[in-house]
Amino acid sequence: MGIHGVAVIGTLLRPFWFYMMIVNGYQVITKRPILYIGSETFFQWIVWLGGSRCTLGLAIAIRFFAKSEQLKSFGKVGLNSSLFNINETILFGVPIVDNKNFRVPFFAAPIVCAVVGYGAMAWGYVSIPSIVSPWVLPAPLGIFISSLGDFRSVVLSLILIVISFGVYFPFFKRYDRELQAQEQQR
């Protein structure tokens, strides 16, 4: 039985996120500094980049670098859906969920991206997202809209995609080699 982590966390935190977004929106309207970084839009565009667990970098790795037939078969559809923050194909098709090869990056990628994203916003390098944009937008476009057109947020999004790729890539390569060996034995 799978538990949809974002649905569980959203149920618990959404009241706080709504409060943060209302306050942030008020701050924008009254031309005051935005107060809350950790609203839902932060998670949406920083922590859930490409879907839960920051898997867009992994989807890119699978699409362009997979050698095993199993991973190649998920590459195109996995990347296409991950671009719109839907990663169930990757999570359950590859699979990532309950796969010992991906335990470390499955937890590390969103944490690293969260720290980098939070730091960039806290230190003023990037505007804090202050409005809600549809979660199915590609991440660079979604954060651009949420941060009221701050182009630096697009740069941050691209940097986070590269970070996600870098965190997942060594684990992906190891798993891809294992699958190749299994395919050659058949």
Spatial separation of the C-alpha atoms in residues 91 and 97, rounded to whole Å: 6
Residue with tokens 């230190």: 123
pLDDT above 90: residue 9: no
Mean pLDDT of 148-170: 98
Mean pLDDT of 63-72: 96
pLDDT band at 97 (very low <50, low <70, confident <90, very high): confident
Side-chain-facing half-sphere of 128: CA atoms under 13 Å: 23
pLDDT band at 2 (very low <50, low <70, confident <90, very high): low
Cα torsion 67, 176, 50, 6: sign: positive
Spatial separation of the C-alpha atoms in residues 69 and 9, rounded to whole Å: 35
pLDDT band at 139 (very low <50, low <70, confident <90, very high): very high
Mean pLDDT of 173-185: 96
pLDDT above 60: residue 1: no
Spatial separation of the C-alpha atoms in residues 84 and 142, rounded to whole Å: 10
Q: CA-CA distances (angstroms) from residue 163 to 5, 143, 157, 166?
A: 22, 17, 10, 5
Average pLDDT, the chain: 94
Tell me the helices (H) and strands (E) count for the chain, helix number first.
8, 0
